[in-house]
Structure formats: structure tokens, C-alpha cells
Amino acid sequence: MLEGFVPVTAASELPPGSMKWVVIDRERVLIANVAGSYYALRDVCGHAGAPLSTGELVGYAIECPLHYACFDVRTGKLLSGPVSGDVPTYEVRVEEDTVYVKR
Ligand code: FES
């Protein structure tokens, strides 16, 4: 068991180019697979609170479904849109078929 990490999903359930949301400590967390690497970030847009997991994932960019702010899924950095802040990210590890996120 990885210290401080919680298992969130099976890696095989999240093929490249896809994403899903999970709950960790009552907070929605988006898990994305881009080209075989897994990323985790807060599933809440800092503008009006839309769930980013219902937006579009295009390469490493995730687009908010509400007003189309774009964030880099690797860093949470704002790329464009009507938001002033980045989205918090979480450390991710994969062991065998399990994706873990650090809380
Ligand atoms: S809620 Fe995401 S850009 Fe407005």
C-alpha cells in the first residue's frame, strides 16, 4: 500500500483519451488518461463550479463544459477562458491495474 494514497479506479477501466470522476474525502476528483499516463485534478472549474469531467478532453487540454475555460490536465494551469485561477492537481501512482491518488 502506498503511504497517503487511496485507490480510485482500475487503470484498465480508463482507456487513453478518457476521464472519469471519483470522490475522495467528499471532494470530486477528475482522473484522466492521456496517452497512457494518468492525471488527477479537482473536478470543479474555478469560474462557476462546473464539473470539468463532463467537458471535453482534447490531448492534454480539458475544456470546461459551461463557459469553455481550458486547463492543462498535467498541471491544472489555466490555458484560456474566463477564469483567473488554476485547478489544483493531485499526485497519481499506478501499480498493476490500480490507479492511486494522493490525498
Ligand atoms: S464554469 Fe468553467 S468556465 Fe465557467
Pocket probe mutation, ligand 1, options 83, 86, 87, max atoms within 8 Å of Cβ: 83
Q: What is the pLDDT of residue 2?
A: 87
- pLDDT, averaged across the chain: 96
Name the pTM for this structure: 0.95
- Convert the pLDDT of each residue in 40-64 to its tens digit: 999 999 999 999 999 999 999 999 9
- Convert the pLDDT of each residue in 6-36 to its tens digit: 999 999 999 999 999 999 999 999 999 999 9
For residue 76, the enclosing domain spans 5-102
Atom index in ligand 1 nearest the CA of residue 82 equals 3
What is the count of structural domains for the chain? 1
Share of the chain above pLDDT 70, in %: 99
The Cα 96–Cα 60 span in angstroms is 24
CATH number at residue 57: 2.102.10.10
Residues 87 and 45 sit within 8 Å (Cβ to Cβ): yes
